[in-house]
């Protein structure tokens, strides 16, 4: 019962480096999203996707890119990391059928530190 | 701007006491959810409320959705150490977006 799987769990980057956070789900969910969680700020939506080939910006998209080539995978790319991107990142997915009231299934998180 | 305001931000109580935390907004939501998050893990859904005035119970947890669908409360009866965690409310405001509050950190002391 894998659910939502995120890798890596921990990562340290230097300013200016690039990296990709991986997210995969095995529940055949059309909707996938990325949030960041910072102390005192709660969870903030970065990008989301309602299906393969479709992505859209959330509340805090600057500095991040996403793509959705398959239903299962939704990677988050940092092209040039900045210290302000130090955070815990969560990937989440859900069904989008007419009966769905939006329950999100979260991964365990990826803790990123940018020096 | 924060769509959802949660209060109190931090609450510490003794085992066996009751507590209530709140989630308020000036916006109307089609549904509102409560999640619990433990350290090092992702949030896990506790309940979804959809109808104004709705009350749902989950063992010792009672969730209420305001009549105008702008606010919600979570009441825990006879709190136990296992109830310790960060409680997050989230509102569905359309366009496939779910907005989260900053959370209520609850600590239950044995």
pLDDT one-digit tens code per residue, A7-52: 999 999 999 999 999 999 999 999 999 999 998 888 999 999 999 9
Enumerate the residues of chain B whose CB falls inside 8 A of the CB of residue A58.
97
CA distances from A87 to A57, A82, B42 (A): 18, 11, 14
Q: What is the dihedral of CA A3, A108, A54, A84, to 10 degrees?
A: 180
Q: Taking CA atoms, what residue in A is nearest to B46? A: A103
A27 shares contact with chain B (CB less than 8 Å): no
Q: Which of B43, B50, B102 sits opposite A106 (nearest CB)?
A: B43
Model confidence pLDDT, tens digit, residues A61-109: 999 999 999 999 999 999 999 999 999 999 999 987 665 567 899 999 9
Min Cα separation B78/chain A (Å):
27
């Amino acid at each position: 019962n894998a659910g939502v799987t995120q890798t890596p769990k921990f990562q340290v980057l230097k300013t200016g480096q690039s990296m990709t956070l991986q997210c995969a789900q095995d529940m055949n969910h059309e909707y996938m999203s990325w949030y960041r969680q910072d102390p005192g700020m709660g969870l903030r939506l970065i990008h989301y996707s309602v299906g393969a080939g479709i992505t859209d910006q959330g509340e805090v998209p600057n500095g991040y890119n996403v793509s959705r080539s398959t239903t299962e995978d939704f990677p988050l790319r940092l092209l040039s990391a900045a210290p302000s991107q130090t955070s815990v990142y969560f990937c989440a997915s859900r069904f989008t059928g007419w009966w769905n009231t939006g329950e999100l299934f979260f991964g365990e998180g990826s803790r990123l530190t940018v020096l | 701007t924060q769509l959802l305001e949660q209060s109190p931000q931090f609450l510490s109580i003794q085992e066996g006491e009751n507590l209530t935390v709140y989630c308020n907004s000036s916006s109307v939501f089609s549904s509102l959810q409560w999640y619990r998050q433990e350290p090092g893990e992702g949030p896990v859904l506790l309940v979804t409320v959809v109808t104004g005035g709705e009350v749902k119970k989950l063992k010792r947890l009672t969730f209420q959705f305001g009549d105008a669908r702008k606010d919600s409360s979570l009441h825990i009866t006879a709190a136990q150490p296992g109830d310790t965690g960060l409680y997050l409310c989230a509102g569905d405001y359309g366009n496939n977006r779910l907005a989260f509050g900053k959370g209520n950190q609850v600590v239950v002391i044995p």
